[in-house]
Chains A and B, each alone.
Chain A
Amino acid sequence: MERRLNGEACAFCCYGCCIAFQVKIGRHEEWEAAWLLIQLGVGGFLSMNIMMFSLLLYSDAFIGVDAGVLPWVHLLLWIFATPAVVMLGGPYLREMWLNGIQGRVTSSALIVLGVAAAYLYSAFAVFEGSTHVYFDTAVMVLMLFTVGRYLEAVGRARAARDLEPLLAAESEGATVVDGAAEIRRPVREVSAGMLVRVRPGERIPVDGVVVEGESNTDEAVITGESRQVTKGAGSKVIAGSINIDGPLLIQSSGDGTATRWARICRSVREALGRRSPTQRLADRVVGVSVPLVLALGGLTIVYWAQSLPFDRALLIGLSVLVVACPCAVGLAAPMATSLGIGRLARHGCLVRDPGVLETLARVRLLAFDKTGTLTAGKARLVGVDCEEVCIDEVLARAAGLERLSEHGLGWAIAAAAAQRGITPLVTRDVRTVPGRGIRGSAEGRPVAAGNGRLMNDLGWPLPPSLTERARSLEASGHSVVYVGWGEQVHALLSLDDSPLPEAQAAIADLRERGLDSTLLTGDLAQAAERIAALVGIKDVQAGLSPEAKRLALDRLRHDYGSVAMVGDGLNDGPVLAAADVGIAVGSATDLARETAALVLPADGLWMLPWIVDVARAVRRTILTNLMWAFGYNLVALTFAAFGLLQPILAAAVMAGSSILVVVNSLRLERLPDPVPALIPEQRSGAEVERARHTVGASVMAGSAVERS
């Protein structure tokens, strides 16, 4: 047979050889896993011997055996069973004790009591000379539960596999270069200015600038985009990204604990430690069911003891305890949730609250903030309308003023002028007029750029052709800047904030999944409606203060049940916190990040439909897991209570049930990766296209008016 191992085709005589090879070449060394395996192996050795002697006892070979031999076989069984019970039962006893001193009765109590009853009864029987011993039951129940737990642990390890390298690299540290020496230090001890060496394949531990070397890096965990970015001397690198193929020497630009990656790691750790509502519910059910099952076990023994010998009744009671162990119920939600969290984290989506995935799966409406969420949050100059002057002159005067401005619109104008290669006119006595605009003087004449009120204050008239144009531009939601000099308004600059290229596709994909979208914004109605129309949102509520947004969200929640809010701005903090699921997206502010339950990477809007898919798959998995676990427990409990299920069989099926839950959850790993509606290359192409279109539009608009 041939198998591919580490990318190479290897030939083996059989599957056993193949496994043998994998074991030999592996470098995986984990003492804890080994110790558990040793326990399992030695426990297996003892329990298999017990089973064999028991099989011999049951076998017809021993029918009619000399009664004198039986006590010796029983003694031998006791000798094998005692260390097995101590070794395999120890962890359960410890668990029961630790929970017991906190006043909690958990599933470990069921196992310990069941096994202790079988073992003690049998030990008593050995020394009393009785004919029936149940060491095989006691030991095999423990063995099967331990095997089940081991397989659960393997499943959990696979669930955490996505997070393991991420979290391990953070705790591993950074190689700090100090003169000729290279010292390994914890990431938290790296401060600004230190030189850090990052070898190929390592994760970059701190934010910084490349001083030496060139390499490709993968920034997926931060940006969500799995594409390689080439970094050379002078390039900025982000902590958490992976250095792929060349050594890099980096100068740290800040504290190791203050990086976004460190925050992600902290949040993921916290999220994994918390419990989702379903988990809490399952815990409560388990907490209530265990004492009930103990009582039921006791009642079963009492009931059957009236018609059967005591050891038979005890065995039926033991089956009840073993079969009712709610391991699968306890595992149903955390297994699926941690797989979901790991899956999202691998693509840079940070889950701060494990319950969020279950809630998101139920959501029927997503409310979006506009600026910075659906749009880039940066104004762009999209048109110049002028009368009897050329566009270049308008832009030179406007840029002369605006390059000193601190207003977003001003920056956009200065940037557009620079993009067209226009030199700003030297402007003196520049001062801003709050809420109005900016003014100064150039070439000995006053010059001003601002809104209509500034022009009114200055008493500069607006030509009739531009008045009409200004009205239509404002009606269509554009921001309009009037530019005037020589005591007259000469031009109108129209600016707007375009929707992100991926927004429309994301909204359409969400609609395909049956999710409605609405726009809640503090911006003007016209601007909001224009953006909403462009991205495909019908329902718009504009001009909302943060408080009004919260009230609007409450109303929506009343109509739709659970509502998710997607936002980024400082003013989105309260509404993100108030929503059932707060999703911070884009270059979200710290407040938005702190209040949101789910944080998407920068430019991560396109991932929203995929996240909804993952959340729904997680919820579906949890529900099927719970249905299976509860259903199984109820059916099996009934069989056991009627004496129709042997304890060993009960343990086997119980362990099998847990494994089924693990296997069902692991199906989440097969979910496809997110596919951007626009892949990065296409997206950058689309941005270029949009920029070209923007400049073209301004020239066309300007020329049209010039000609008139």
Chain B
Amino acid sequence: MTYYLVIFAAGFAGSFHCIGMCGGFACGLGRDQRGGGATVARHLLYNTGRLTTYCFLGGLAGALGQVICTTQGSMATPLLNGSLDIAQRILAIVAGLLMIGMALQFFGLLQVFHRLALGFGGSTFAMSLRSLLTARSSAAPLAFGVFNGFLPCPLVYAFAAQAASTAGAVPGFLVMASFGLGTFPAMLMVGGVGRILGPAWRRRGVRLAGGFILLLGLITLGRGLLPSDAHIGHAWLGGLPA
């Protein structure tokens, strides 16, 4: 449980980055003419759409991790006895390094991930989403949220990597659900429901998010590198449910 709370907190801290990035969308959706209740509903729908996509990606990444580990385990004789087999360790190392890289980027130290995202062809996507922002249908914010969830974003990559390292559809789903729920308050706040934070606070938030991601990355890396007896992830965070 503690593990998911840490992810929730990381999502919450990371949402200060979201304000800068996806906050534009939330502002674009704006207030509903029919009043406060309708505005809250509109933004809840948008965020639910986003959350669904995150959960889907988490479940998928987890299942993929599971497939990798199962295939590896069935093909090769396990070199290590214990709760983690070699494939899961490799997965944890890769995910951990990826998260540490993302964290460094949040501190402004490593810009390679931005460049990686650059290759993604998205202008068509952007053109399409534009028409959704102006649509009046109540289902539009939900649809918009679903698509928004797929936008290339370092935070989502980081937690998708974390989800993959759990090597299970259910824990993967829960990782991304916790992360997504963590981003809810800030996103609701900027979406016409509350007030927008100033740039200084956003910078602090982004650093905090970087700290959380670094911590999670180190734990994940540790899961891959350290002997299972000395496993800090299990000892400190109560282990994974898988």
Contacts and interface: CB of A to CB of B under 8 A. Distances in A.
A22 B63 CA distance: 34
Contacts of B66: 59-60
A264 B12 CA distance: 59
B110 interface: no
A20 B131 CA distance: 13
Contacts of A30: 131
Interface string B137-172: 101101111110001111000000000000011100
B133 A41 contact: no
B135 A45 contact: no
Nearest to B48: A45
B122 A52 contact: no
Interface in A268-318: none
B230 to A, nearest CB: 26
B197 interface: no
A61 B172 CA distance: 12
A41 B50 CA distance: 10
A45 B149 CA distance: 11
B142 A21 contact: no
Contacts of B2: none
A34 B59 contact: no
Given A1-B115, A21-B24, A26-B127, A38 B143 contact: yes
A1 B151 CA distance: 16
Overall SS of chain B's interface: helix
Given A1-B114, A23-B129, A26-B127, A31 B135 contact: yes
B124 A154 contact: yes
B56 interface: yes
Interface in A24-65: 24, 26, 28-31, 33-35, 37-42, 44-45, 48-49, 51-52, 55-56, 58-61
Nearest to A18: B122
B41 interface: no
Contact of A41 (B28, B123, B147, B169): B147
Contacts of A58: 63, 169
Contacts of A45: 48-49, 52, 142-143, 146
Contacts of A28: 127, 130-131
A230 B134 CA distance: 40
A38 B135 contact: yes
Given A14-B21, A16-B117, A37 B122 contact: no
Contacts of A39: 143
A59 B142 contact: no
B140 A19 contact: no
Contacts of A38: 132, 135, 137, 139-140, 143
A58 B63 CA distance: 9
Interface in A1-25: 1, 13-24
A155 B56 CA distance: 27
A55 B143 contact: no
Nearest to A14: B114
A45 B28 CA distance: 21
Given A34-B140, A44-B143, A59-B66, A16 B22 contact: yes
Nearest to B128: A37
A44 B130 CA distance: 18
Contacts of A55: 59-60, 62-63, 169, 173
Interface in B51-75: 52-53, 55-56, 59-60, 62-63, 66
B24 A20 contact: yes
Interface string A655-670: 0000000000000000
Contacts of B60: 51, 55
B143 A42 contact: yes
B170 A61 contact: yes
A29 B153 CA distance: 26
B133 to A, nearest CB: 6
Contacts of B62: 55
Contacts of B154: 14
B139 A16 contact: no
Contacts, number: 156
B38 interface: no
Interface residues of B, number: 55
B233 interface: no
Contacts of B24: 17, 20-21, 23-24
Contact of B59 (A52, A60, A154): A52
Is the interface on chain A under 10, 10 to 19, 20 to 34, or 35 or more residues? 35 or more
Nearest to B152: A15
A35 B135 contact: yes
B139 A20 contact: no
B229 to A, nearest CB: 24
B47 to A, nearest CB: 12
B118 interface: yes
Contact of A17 (B20, B49, B145): B20
A51 B153 CA distance: 22
Contact of A56 (B59, B131, B140, B147): B59
B236 interface: no
Interface string A520-534: 000000000000000
Nearest to A158: B124
Interface string B169-206: 11001000000000000000000000000000000000
A16 B131 CA distance: 17
A56 B173 contact: yes
A20 B125 CA distance: 10
A23 B143 contact: no
B25 interface: yes
A33 B122 contact: no
A13 B20 contact: yes
A37 B137 CA distance: 11
B114 A15 contact: yes
Contacts of B146: 41-42, 44-45, 48
Contact of B55 (A21, A31, A34, A52): A52
B126 interface: yes
Contacts of A18: 122
A325 to B, nearest CB: 23
A38 to B, nearest CB: 5
Given A45-B49, A45-B146, A61-B169, A52 B131 contact: no
A30 B62 CA distance: 37
A40 B143 contact: yes
Nearest to B20: A13
A154 B128 contact: yes
B151 A19 contact: yes
Contacts of B133: 23-24
A695 B59 CA distance: 84
B59 A15 contact: no
Nearest to A48: B56
Contacts of B126: 19, 22-23, 26
B131 A29 contact: yes
Interface in A411-465: none
Contacts of A31: 131, 135
> Could you say which of B48, B135, B146, B241 has the most chain A C-beta atoms within 10 Å of its C-beta?
B146
B212 to A, nearest CB: 18
A154 B123 CA distance: 11
A15 B143 CA distance: 21
Interface string A620-645: 00000000000000000000000000
28 contacts: A14-B154, A15-B117, A15-B122, A16-B152, A20-B151, A21-B24, A22-B123, A22-B127, A22-B130, A24-B25, A28-B131, A29-B130, A29-B131, A37-B147, A44-B146, A48-B53, A49-B52, A51-B56, A51-B60, A52-B55, A56-B59, A59-B63, A59-B66, A60-B66, A61-B168, A61-B170, A154-B124, A154-B128
Interface of A: 1, 13-24, 26, 28-31, 33-35, 37-42, 44-45, 48-49, 51-52, 55-56, 58-61, 154
Given A35-B137, A58-B63, 4 more contacts: A14-B154, A41-B145, A55-B59, A56-B173
